[in-house]
Structure formats: structure tokens, C-alpha cells
Structure 1
Amino acid sequence: MNKNELVSQVADKTELSRQQATSAVDAVFDALQTALGKGDDIRLVGFGTFSVSHRAASKGRNPSTGAEVNIPARNVPRFAPGKSLKDAVNKAGK
């Protein structure tokens, strides 16, 4: 599913116009990005938890040349699915 398909489903389920659904989806994504950018966790009960994890600096190798490359430290987003989401995924696969 891509963003357009998500917007279409939100519009259908909420009886919002496509433009209103696009605004709603964009607002949710913006709120998630803003909170994660501040380092906050986002806990959506039953769905999952979005968090920020720090990845330490490390050394890697360029596969083409074999030269050693420094990989800088950075923050990365993480998602841990909740029980309800895991159960829904497992039911859908059966």
C-alpha cells in the first residue's frame, strides 16, 4: 500500500473528501516526524511503538575498493509492533 491508497481508504472509511483525508494523513505523518525528531517515543496502544535509537559510529568497508570507511553516529527510527497488530498480521496470512 502506498500513500495514495492509504488516503483513499481513510476517505472511504471516514466519509471525508479525498482532500480532507490527504490533509489528515499528512497531519499524522507530520506529527510522527516532529515527535521523533525531538527524540520522543510514540505509543499507539494495540498498534505499536515508534522510537528513536542511537547508532554509534563504526567502521565499514567499501565493497568495490575494500577501502575502510568511517560511518558516522546517527539516530535511527525504530518501530515495535503491538500485540493486536501482530495478531492481525498472523490472521491475515492464514
Structure 2
Amino acid sequence: MIKSELIAILAEKNPHLYLRDVERIVTTIFDTISDALANGDRVELRGFGAFSTKERSSRIGRNPRTGEQVSVDAKLVPYFKCGKEMRENLNK
């Protein structure tokens, strides 16, 4: 599912809301989660899951085209752990 599909489904389930309002709500939620992760915070949505960041250490990688060794810097990557209710729903 892509963002536009999510917005269309939510708009369909909430006919009292304008499509542009649903789009603004979804965008605001995603932006807020992104901002929180960028600030080093953890975002937990009960029954759905938790978003956090993990640090990847620096390493030596390879350029797939030339095979040359390349230094890859340390970086933060987003991490999602699904909640108990979601896991149970997936494994029914």
C-alpha cells in the first residue's frame, strides 16, 4: 500500500471529512513520526508497534560496479518493531 492508497481508504471510511483534510492528517502523522526519530525519540503506537532508530557502525564496503573497497560511514537507520496485537493478527 502506498500513501495515496491509504489516504483514499481513510477518506472512503470517513465520508464526513474532505479528501484534502485526510491527506493533511496523514502527512502530519508521518512528519511527526519522522521529526521524533530525527530528534532521537522513540514513537510507540499501542497495538501497532514502535518506531526507533538503530546505529550502524562504520565499515568497509565494496563498489558493486568496480569491486573497489569503499569506506561506509556510521549512520542512524529507522527500525520498526511490531506490537503484540499486530503480530497476533498476522499469525492467525
Q: What TM-score, normalized to structure 1? A: 0.89
Aligned residues: percent identity?
40
1:48 corresponds in structure 2 to 49
Q: Secondary structure at 1:60's aligned position in 2? A: strand
Which structure 2 residues correspond to residues 1-94 of structure 1 after superposition, within 5 A?
A: 1-15=1-15, 16-91=17-92
The code of the aligned residue for 1:63 comes to P
Runs of 4+ aligned residues of structure 1 deviating over 3 Å after TM superposition are none
Aligned equivalents of 1:27, 1:64: Cα separation in 2: 39
User: RMSD across aligned C-alpha pairs, in angstroms?
Assistant: 1.1
- How far off its partner does 1:12 sit? 1.9
Q: Secondary structure at 1:70's aligned position in 2? A: strand
Q: What TM-score, normalized to structure 2? A: 0.91
The code of the aligned residue for 2:69 comes to E
Structure 1 regions of 5+ residues with no counterpart? Answer: none
- Number of aligned positions between the proteins: 91
Aligned equivalents of 2:86, 2:14: Cα separation in 1: 21
Structure 2 regions of 5+ residues with no counterpart? Answer: none
